[in-house]
Structure 1
Amino acid sequence: MKTEQLVHGDYVAAMFSYDFVEGGFDLDEVERIRCGVFDEWTSAVARSGVFSDKEVAGVVEAWRRDPKLLLDALLRDADEVTRRRYESAWEALDRAADPLDSAVVGSASILV
């Protein structure tokens, strides 16, 4: 039960959401999470003493499969404007990483 809540962000949100949002918008952190660089979050969960090593390993594996789970958890208690700002940044990074994005392909074909 605890592992599932950890993976789905309930505990992560409770522990870190306020501090994450209170720190102000951080595009670098969005990029790090999106790229799977979340060692500081993993360490914080492990150091909390609330979770077993197995539970921490489970959440890290879930974050590796879908890093957006971590961002969603961190934004759980954020206001709508903040959440949209982070979501927009994530989507922009997705578009920039996808060379076959329809907006990019469409603009290139117009230039040809």
Structure 2
Amino acid sequence: MTAEWLTCSDFVTATFSHDFVADGYDHDSVERIHRGDIDEWIHALAQSGLFTNLAVTSASESWRDDPHTLLDALLADADEVTVKRYEVAWDAMDRSTFRAVDEYA
């Protein structure tokens, strides 16, 4: 028997993924995650009681460095159509961000 270590991302998926996708596509949520407004997710992680302070801090730093990792964890159990819808929205936000940066450069 091979033991598998569960990561913080695995627990986030198990804890929050179902609720995240159950209500259908949520543009506001993906937009907030995309711009790095992830405090609600960090708070939920901390309040869940499943994680040490170190794990919450580690997840927080990881998500702040790359918010897409949070979205990946939230969509890990979603069907491929739902994942594609969120990815298309994320890519559109990336393009919009790049255009805005180019306009100010």
- Provide the identity percentage: 52
- Any gaps of 5 or more consecutive residues in structure 1? 101-112
SS at match of 2:99: coil
Q: What is the CA–CA distance in structure 2 between the aligned matches of 1:13 and 1:41, rounded to whole Å?
A: 12
User: Within 5 A, what are the aligned runs for 1:1-112?
Assistant: 5-6=7-8, 9-99=9-99
- Any gaps of 5 or more consecutive residues in structure 2? 101-105
Number of aligned residue pairs: 96
Please report how far the alpha carbon of residue 50 of structure 1 lies from its aligned counterpart in structure 2 after TM superposition.
1.4
SS at match of 1:77: coil
Structure with max Cα Rg = 1
Please report how far the alpha carbon of residue 73 of structure 1 lies from its aligned counterpart in structure 2 after TM superposition.
0.4
- RMSD after superposition: 1.4
Please report how far the alpha carbon of residue 56 of structure 1 lies from its aligned counterpart in structure 2 after TM superposition.
0.4
Query: Structure 2-normalised TM-score?
Result: 0.87
Q: What is the CA–CA distance in structure 2 between the aligned matches of 1:42 and 1:99, rounded to whole Å?
A: 29
